[in-house]
Amino acid sequence: MSGEGQSARHVAIIMDGNGRWAKRKHLPRAMGHRKGVEAVRELVRSLQDTSLECLTLYAFSSENWKRPEDEVDDLMNLMRKFIKSDLPEFIANDVKLHIIGDWQGLAPDIVAMLENALEQTAKGSRTLAVALNYGSQAEIVHAAQLAAADGEITEDSLAAHLYTAALPPLDLLIRTSGEVRLSNFLLWQAAYAEMIFTDVLWPDFTPRHLFDALDQFAGRERRFGGR
Residue type, 163: Y
CA distance 28 to 16: 16
Neighbouring C-alpha atoms within 13 Å toward the C-beta of 66? 3
CA-atom Rg of the chain in angstroms: 17
Active site residues: 16, 64
Per residue, the 3-state secondary structure of 101-115, as one string, reads: CCHHHCCHHHHHHHH
Angle (nearest 5°) at CA 92 between 90 and 96? 40
Distance of CA 96 to the CA centre of its chain: 13
